[in-house]
Chain A
Amino acid sequence: MSTSTLTATTRPTTQRSSHVGWLILSLLTAITMAALMGAALLYAKPALNLAGDEQMAQRIFYIHIGSVIGCFVAFLMSLIGSIVYLNKRNLDWDRVAQASVEIGIVLGMSTTLAGSIWSKPTWNTYWTWDPRLTTTTITLLIYIAYLLFRNGIDNRYTRARFSSIYALFAFLSVPLTYYSARWFRSIHPIVFNGANPDAQGSFNIGETMSQTLWVATIGYCLLFSTLLIFRWRQLRLQDRIDALREEME
């Protein structure tokens, strides 16, 4: 196949206006994330039923939930990218999938890290085999494997196709892993829609808390979108460089 199909040529006329768009999006993301930090640390009222270290640690909840939402959106986006790639065979969608996985891994690690910092004062341990922890970790391992797998394939189209197939399989196993881990045992608080009677460090959501949570949700979705667009563009340029290099040889 010719190299011209690898990258659609970007038209210079639209480039300037899209630069402005990126700038606005980046600024918006930075502002929302800054607002989130302020809201999480100062605006949201402390959890009344908790005390001492637990009460302070509860504030990491906003970062924790924010990044897990971003992480979920990212992995969902990678699934969409993979399915559309297998249908349309347009490498742009493969780049969407790859960029989403990379961002999802970062956000997933941030979720785990924030959770560990919270769970030390609350559960008195950094780690436990709770279903949500187990599922997040295994999901992260699956997507790290996805990136490693991609690296091993030389042909650009084979790489896109194989990793899309793997992403589909990977995503199918996540709910099964979650239910298996849940039957193992659970001490994780369920803050929304129901409660876990065995939960340690649970609390209910007040008004300032839910407002902060909305800021977190919007902020992390914006963060994901911004990173996705930048990374996608970078991957596109990288493919173009590879194509040009191949042409020169």
Chain B
Amino acid sequence: MSVSLPASSPVEATAELGVVQPLATSPVIMHTGSGFGRYWRKVWLIMAKDLRIELRAKEILVVMIAFSALAVIIFGLAFDLRVPRATMVVPGVLWGILLFSGILGLNRSFSAEQDHQTLLALLLAPIDRTALYLGKFLANLLFMLLMAVVLLPMLLFIFDVNLFRFWILAAILLGSIGYVAVGTLFAALTASIRARESMMPILLLPVMAPVFMAGIKVAEQVLDGRDWTDFQNWLGMLVAFDLIFLTAAFLLFDLIWEEM
């Protein structure tokens, strides 16, 4: 990707007025750095942009929720008569649905930009690329959590298991952070390749194995009425996953965009 300036740059305009400036003193100023508050404002703007698009187009969240409702019904039908107690399968159902319908949202995150040909404009914007990543990450995280907010009552309704317990909710939050951290980066990787929709789950799900196992175990233990000390190592695993992958994504995201 290369940026070429138009021929009539401000240098020529000022030269006509008699004030001759050397080229090097008037480079294009990229407002990329300086200031914690300014950085987060850019992150916020990217996120707000995605949310505004979603409010108008309803392309992502509605699809995710519709899919998760469908999945709850499918699992409900599949397990209804075969399983003695619903609490035996609900942790797996919860995390399976979270991961699968999460992919639908993550898939659209960058491929929508690609389809509307706004990706280039986004990359040319004078912001740090990590701000772009964080903005997208927060928007995707919000979609994920909103979907979970709808999913939990559906599970209560179909399976009659109350999942509104503090530690289950905490595990969903922590798991979603790690999931979306990796997913946003993979969405950027797959945005421009062939068969991106089918590629995403194949790339993402095996990497998500620790999150999946930890999420299931926490939900299982809480439903069994265990104490916090019995599953604190799983929560630690989720926190470790989040920190490792957020850092890695933060460092590697810039490498994705070199040529278009």
Quick check: B256 and A162 within 8 Å, CB to CB?
Answer: yes
Beyond A142-B206, A149-B203, A169-B248, whether A180 also contacts B195 by CB under 8 A is: no
Chain A residues whose CB sits within 8 angstroms of the CB of B193 once the complex forms: 149, 152-153, 162
Chain A residues with CB under 8 A of B244 = 172, 176
**Chain B residues near A162 (CB-CB < 8 A):** 189, 193, 256
Query: Is A50 among interface residues, defined by CB-CB distance under 8 A?
Result: no
Please indicate the chain A residues that have their CB under 8 angstroms from the CB of B189 in the complex.
149, 162, 165-166
Interface residue A192 (Cβ < 8 Å from any Cβ of B) = no
A134 to B212, CA, bound (A): 13
A-B contacts, CB under 8 A, total: 91
In Å, the complex CA distance between A169 and B217 comes to: 24
Complexed CA–CA distance, A158 and B258 (Å)? 8
Interface residues on A, range: 20 to 34
B:237-260 near A, CB below 8 Å = 237, 240-241, 244-245, 248, 252, 255-256, 258-259
Interface centre among A139, A149, A166, A176 (most CB of B within 10 A): A176
Distance, CA A31 to CA B226, complexed state (A): 57
Q: Which residues of B contact A179 (CB under 8 A)?
A: 210, 237
**CA A161 to CA B260, docked complex, whole Å:** 13
In the bound complex, what is the Cα–Cα distance between A170 and B204 (angstroms)? Answer: 9
- Taking the closest CB of chain A, its distance from the CB of B53, in whole angstroms, is 26
**Bound-complex Cα distance A173 to B194 (A):** 25
Contacting pair A161 B203 (CB below 8 A):
no
> Would you call B185 an interface residue if the criterion is a C-beta within 8 Å of the partner chain's C-beta atoms?
yes
| For the complex of A and B, 7 pairs with smallest distance between CB atoms | A176-B210, A180-B213, A141-B206, A152-B193, A180-B210, A142-B206, A173-B207
Residues of B that sit less than 8 Å from A by CB: 182, 185-186, 189-190, 192-196, 199, 202-203, 206-210, 213-214, 217, 233-234, 237, 240-241, 244-245, 248, 252, 255-256, 258-259
For the A-B complex with A165-B255, A179-B210, A183-B237 known, give 11 more contacts whose Cβ atoms are closer than 8 Å: A134-B209, A139-B206, A145-B203, A145-B206, A149-B189, A161-B256, A165-B252, A165-B256, A173-B206, A179-B237, A184-B217
